[in-house]
Amino acid sequence: MAGQAGAIFVTLACLLILTFVIGRIMPTDPVRTIAGEDATREAYENVYHQLWLDRPLWQQFTMRLRDVATFDFGTSIRTGQPVLHDVAHALPATIELATFVDIIGAVLGPPMGVAAAVYKGRWPGHVIRVVSLMGHSMPIFWTGWIAVLNVDGGWLAR
């Protein structure tokens, strides 16, 4: 149990460091993104200060750690809402989708496994194996993106 908690902590710490570094090396100017291309110098400097970009990197990271520890994940650039609010808004749909996928897996998995064993070495067994491998190997964000495209009137929904 302690080993799992340690692994989770290390994973979250690495993720926090990685996202912090990515945010600092991006070629776009986050201040321009938030303040707008036509922002006045005063507005630009105000946002620059709000993002703590006027401080050394170690202070920026320390302040970020403090915010994450208090569940303050900042404000979404896209919606203008607190990130935690956006996550809480999307959580019910995420749980619903995960539950639906688990049910499909529980209902279709065993019969497909039995059919693959029965048809081992023949084309139905190969098809089931390839489809299962593709479904298991594809990154979840890609599968979700394809599903959203199809639900929203994509090429499979027609």
Residue type, 107: V
Which residue, 30, 22, 27, 28, is CA-closest to 49?
Answer: 30
> What confidence score (pLDDT) does residue 122 get?
94
CA neighbor of 51 nearest in space, from 29, 70, 69, 71: 29
* Per-residue pLDDT at 151: 62
Residue type, 136: H
Q: Which of 11, 20, 13 is nearest to 60 (CA)?
A: 20
- Which residue do the tokens 């520890």 mark? 69
pLDDT tens digits for range 47-64: 888 888 889 999 999 998
CB 157 within 8 A of CB 150: yes
CA 122-127-128 angle, 5° bins: 100
CA pseudo-torsion sign 17, 22, 25, 28: negative
pLDDT (tens digit per residue) in 135-155 = 788 887 777 777 777 665 555
Can you give the pLDDT at residue 120? 93
- What's the predicted TM-score (pTM) here? 0.57
Say which range, 58-62, 107-111, 129-133, 153-157, has the weakest mean pLDDT.
153-157
